[in-house]
Structure 1
Amino acid sequence: MTGITGRDRNIFLTWLVWPLLTLGIYHFVWYFKINREARDFDDRTEADPVLSVLAVTLGALIIVPVFVSIYQSGVRIALMQRSAGVAPSCNPWIGLILSFFAGLHALYYQHELNEIWRHYGSPEEGTHVALVS
């Protein structure tokens, strides 16, 4: 079984710099991309990037969908770590709690994703890699 790798991103640029420069828009683009990477990395992972972004944008009007989506993204990253053969270190509860503090979940989740890509030797985005079944 194979998966498609995502992008190794600088955690501080992802969390702080790009969102500031784009007035917050980059955060939604990043959120779409990490959920797409989860879907493309392992077919067994259920992820809809568009629905995830809708949950953190329009879902904010209802409040609950934002937190469910952030938690579920952490679950997906942990599943990706297992599929890569890396000890799952991503804790969705930590991601959820960090979301209350200046959006630190983005920094945390990107760090956890980078660990997966580094496990494979930081290949180019879109490279097919072997998964653990």
Structure 2
Amino acid sequence: MAEIQPTTTSGPSAAAQTGGVVATGTPGTVGLPGLAMKRRGPVAVWLGLPLVTLGIYQLVWYYKIHKELQQFDRRQTLNPGGSVLVLIFLGWTLIAPLISFRNTGRAIAEAQRAAGLQVTCSPATSMWLVFVFGLNTWYMQRQLNLVTDAYPGVTEGTQVPLAA
């Protein structure tokens, strides 16, 4: 009896050939699909756009990165709206936003792991940099850009394979 050897494909038609799952290109392994995130300028996210929009852009950015993280790795359960509501309604407590920033740092670290990168995002740094000129947004966007750079030439919303 002849043995059937599994084959993997890569390229634009890989999702169609593997039933919606995109192959990673490594023989014998098939990665989970996710959607590519948008690359943003860390300084623009941290300083430029929040100044122009009187702080509104930071809330919009926070919502967008949570939504993109959730679409990138569907194994993560994130609530983009809830994360923004914590900043809006519980920002005065100081503890709730710190916990939210720490959890965002964890989600970014998981996205780095899912992209097959060495994890460089520290949840503690994501949390404590808020006290240093609000540099936590700059730091988190820099870490997110490492994930987008792992998929060169891919536009936002394009299906990409996850390594882990």
TM-score range normalised by the length of the shorter chain: over 0.9
Q: CA deviation at 1:61?
A: 3.1
The one-character-per-residue Cα deviations of 1:84-112 (angstroms, maximum 9, x if unpaired) are 00001000101111011121010000000
**Does residue 112 in structure 1 map to residue 131 in structure 2?**
no
| Identity between Structure 1 and Structure 2 (%) | 36
Give the Cα separation in 2 of the matches to 1:53 and 1:91: 21
Mean Cα deviation higher: 25-34 or 58-67: 58-67
Name the aligned partner's letter for residue 31 of structure 1.
Y
**Does residue 125 in structure 1 map to residue 156 in structure 2?**
yes
| Equivalent of residue 65 in structure 1, options 96, 112, 129 | 96
SS of equivalent to 1:7 = coil
Give the Cα separation in 2 of the matches to 1:2 and 1:114: 19
Structure 2 stretches lacking a partner, 5+ long = 1-31
**Does residue 36 in structure 1 map to residue 81 in structure 2?**
no
Structure 1 stretches lacking a partner, 5+ long = none
More helix, by proportion = 1
Name the aligned partner's letter for residue 77 of structure 1.
I
Give the Cα separation in 1 of the matches to 2:102 and 2:88: 15
User: What is aligned with 1:52?
Assistant: 83
Give the Cα separation in 2 of the matches to 1:37 and 1:14: 15
TM-score where L is the length of structure 2? 0.79
Contact 2:98 2:128 in 1 (8 A): no
**How has the CA–CA distance of structure 1 residues 89 and 122 changed in structure 2, closer, same or farther, with 3 Å as cutoff?**
farther
Give the Cα separation in 1 of the matches to 2:52 and 2:45: 11
The within-5 A match list for 1:74-113 is 74-113=105-144
More RCO (CA 8 Å, sep 6+): 1
Contact 1:8 1:122 in 2 (8 A): no
SS of equivalent to 1:99 = helix
Aligned residues: 133
Runs of 4 or more above 3 Å deviation? none
TM-score where L is the length of structure 1? 0.96
Q: Which has the larger radius of gyration?
A: 2
